[in-house]
Chains A and B, each alone.
Chain A
Amino acid sequence: DTGVSQDPRHKITKRGQNVTFRCDPISEHNRLYWYRQTLGQGPEFLTYFQNEAQLEKSRLLSDRFSAERPKGSFSTLEIQRTEQGDSAMYLCASSFPDRGRGEQFFGPGTRLTVL
Chain B
Amino acid sequence: GESVGLHLPTLSVQEGDNSIINCAYSNSASDYFIWYKQESGKGPQFIIDIRSNMDKRQGQRVTVLLNKTVKHLSLQIAATQPGDSAVYFCAEIGTPDFGNEKLTFGTGTRLTIIP
Contact = CB atoms under 8 A, between A and B. Distances in A.
B89 interface: yes
Interface in B2-45: 4, 31-34, 41-45
A56 B100 contact: yes
Contact of B108 (A41, A44, A101, A102): A41
A83 to B, nearest CB: 23
Interface in A33-51: 33, 35, 40-45, 48, 50
Contacts of B42: 106, 108
Given A42-B89, A43-B105, A101 B43 contact: no
A42 B105 contact: yes
Contact of B43 (A31, A91, A95, A102): A91
Nearest to A100: B49
A100 B107 CA distance: 23
Contacts of B111: none
Contacts of B102: 33, 45, 48, 56
Interface string A80-115: 000000000001010101001111111111000000
Interface of B: 4, 31-34, 41-46, 49, 51, 89, 91, 93, 98-108
